[in-house]
Structure 1
Amino acid sequence: MQLIRGLGNWPDAIDTAITIGNFDGAHLGHQAMFDEVVRTARERQLASTVISFDPLPHEYFVAQAAPARLQGLRDRYNSIKAAGIERLLLLDFDHEFAAQSADDFVNEVLIDTLHARHLVIGDDFRFGHRRLGNFELLEAASKTHEFTLQQSPTCISGNQRVSSTLIRDHLRNGALSEAATLLGRPYRISGRVVHGDKVGRQLGFPTANVALGRHRPALRGVFAAWAHDEDTGRRHAAVANLGERPTVGGHKLLLEVHLLDAEEQLYGHHLAIDFLEALRHEQRFASLDELKAQIARDADAARELMSRR
Structure 2
Amino acid sequence: MEIIRYSKNIILPNKKRYIALGVFDGVHLGHQKLIKLTVDKAKKNDGISIVATFDPHPDITINPESNVFLLTTLEERINLIKDLDVDVFLIIKFNKMMSKMSPEDFISKILVDSLQVKELFVGFNYKFGFQGKGNTDILREYSKFYKFKTNILKPITANHTIISSTRIKDYIKLGEIEKVKKLLGHDITISGRVISGKGRGRKLLNFATANIETPLDKILPVNGVYLVEIKIDNRKYYGLMNIGIKPTFRETERTIEVHIINFNKKIYNKKVVVNILQKIREEKYFNHPSLLKKQIEDDILIAHKMLNNM
TM-score normalised according to structure 2 size: 0.91
Match of 2:263 in 1: 262
Match of 1:224 in 2: 227
- Cα distance, 1:240 vs structure 2: 0.8
Q: Does structure 2 conserve the Cα–Cα contact (< 8 Å) formed by 1:101 and 1:128?
A: yes
Q: Distance in 1 between matches of 2:9 and 2:200?
A: 45
Identity %: 29
SS in 2 for 1:206: coil
Match of 1:21 in 2: 22
Q: Distance in 1 between matches of 2:60 and 2:248?
A: 32
- Cα distance, 1:271 vs structure 2: 2.2
Aligned residue runs from structure 1 range 1-309, under 5 A: 1-8=1-8, 10-12=10-12, 14=14, 15-63=16-64, 65-202=66-203, 203-220=205-222, 221-229=224-232, 231=233, 233-309=234-310
- Cα distance, 1:222 vs structure 2: 1.0
Q: Distance in 2 between matches of 1:86 and 1:208?
A: 35
Q: Deviations over 1:132-165 (max 9, x none)?
A: 2122221122122221111111101111101111
Q: Which amino acid aligns with 1:136?
A: D
- Cα distance, 1:260 vs structure 2: 1.8
Q: Does structure 2 conserve the Cα–Cα contact (< 8 Å) formed by 1:190 and 1:270?
A: yes
Distance 1:9 1:179, change over 3 A: farther
Distance 1:22 1:157, change over 3 A: same
After superposition, the CA RMSD in angstroms is 2.0
Tell which deviates more after alignment, 130-139 or 12-21. 12-21
Q: Distance in 2 between matches of 1:135 and 1:263?
A: 53
Tell which deviates more after alignment, 62-71 or 37-46. 62-71
Q: Distance in 1 between matches of 2:119 and 2:7?
A: 18
Distance 1:292 1:23, change over 3 A: same
Q: Deviations over 1:37-93 (max 9, x none)?
A: 101111222221112122212222333533421112211111111111122222222
Q: Deviations over 1:14-53 (max 9, x none)?
A: 3421111111110000000000110111122222111212
- Cα distance, 1:249 vs structure 2: 4.5
- Cα distance, 1:267 vs structure 2: 2.9
- Cα distance, 1:9 vs structure 2: 6.7
Q: Does structure 2 conserve the Cα–Cα contact (< 8 Å) formed by 1:260 and 1:303?
A: no
TM-score normalised according to structure 1 size: 0.92
Q: Which amino acid aligns with 1:3?
A: I
Q: Deviations over 1:213-248 (max 9, x none)?
A: 33432313210111222x1x3322210112233433
Q: Deviations over 1:168-201 (max 9, x none)?
A: 1221122111111111122121223233222211
- Cα distance, 1:251 vs structure 2: 4.0
Distance 1:46 1:191, change over 3 A: same
Q: Which amino acid aligns with 1:226?
A: E
Q: Distance in 2 between matches of 1:196 and 1:6?
A: 39
Q: Distance in 1 between matches of 2:172 and 2:240?
A: 17
Q: Does structure 1 conserve the Cα–Cα contact (< 8 Å) formed by 2:52 and 2:90?
A: yes
Distance 1:244 1:73, change over 3 A: farther
Tell which deviates more after alignment, 218-227 or 100-109. 218-227
Tell which deviates more after alignment, 9-18 or 45-54. 9-18
Q: Distance in 2 between matches of 1:64 and 1:23?
A: 22
Tell which deviates more after alignment, 34-43 or 46-55. 46-55
Q: Distance in 1 between matches of 2:267 and 2:243?
A: 18
